[in-house]
Chain A
Amino acid sequence: DQQVKQNSPSLSVQEGRISILNCDYTNSMFDYFLWYKKYPAEGPTFLISISSIKDKNEDGRFTVFLNKSAKHLSLHIVPSQPGDSAVYFCAASALQGAQKLVFGQGTRLTINP
Chain B
Amino acid sequence: GAGVSQTPSNKVTEKGKYVELRCDPISGHTALYWYRQSLGQGPEFLIYFQGTGAADDSGLPNDRFFAVRPEGSVSTLKIQRTERGDSAVYLCASSAGPNNEQFFGPGTRLTVL
Asked if B66 is at the interface of the complex by the 8 Å CB criterion, the answer is: no
What B residues does A104 contact at CB under 8 A? 42
8 A Cβ contacts from A1-52 to B:
4, 6, 9, 36, 41-46
- Please choose the segment from B69-77, B80-88, B103-111 that sits at the chain A interface, where 4 or more of its residues have CB less than 8 A away: B103-111
Asked if A105 is at the interface of the complex by the 8 Å CB criterion, the answer is: yes
For the complex, what is the distance from the CA of A106 to the CA of B44, rounded to whole Å?
12
For the complex, what is the distance from the CA of A106 to the CA of B31, rounded to whole Å?
25
Which of B43, B45, B91 has its CB near the most chain A CB atoms (within 10 A)?
B43
Known: A97-B56, A99-B33, A100-B56. A43 touches B48 (CB 8 A): no
Contact count band on B: 20 to 34
Asked if B102 is at the interface of the complex by the 8 Å CB criterion, the answer is: yes
Q: Are A46 and B102 in contact, CB atoms less than 8 angstroms apart?
A: yes
Q: Are B102 and A101 in contact, CB atoms less than 8 angstroms apart?
A: yes
Q: Are B42 and A99 in contact, CB atoms less than 8 angstroms apart?
A: no
For B58, the closest partner residue in chain A by CB is A100
The 6 closest A-B pairs by CB, nearest first: A43-B104, A103-B42, A99-B98, A98-B99, A99-B48, A103-B43
Additional A-B contact list (18), CB under 8 Å, known A46-B101, A101-B45: A9-B40, A41-B106, A43-B105, A44-B91, A46-B103, A91-B42, A99-B33, A99-B48, A99-B50, A99-B56, A99-B95, A101-B33, A101-B102, A102-B45, A103-B42, A103-B43, A103-B44, A105-B40
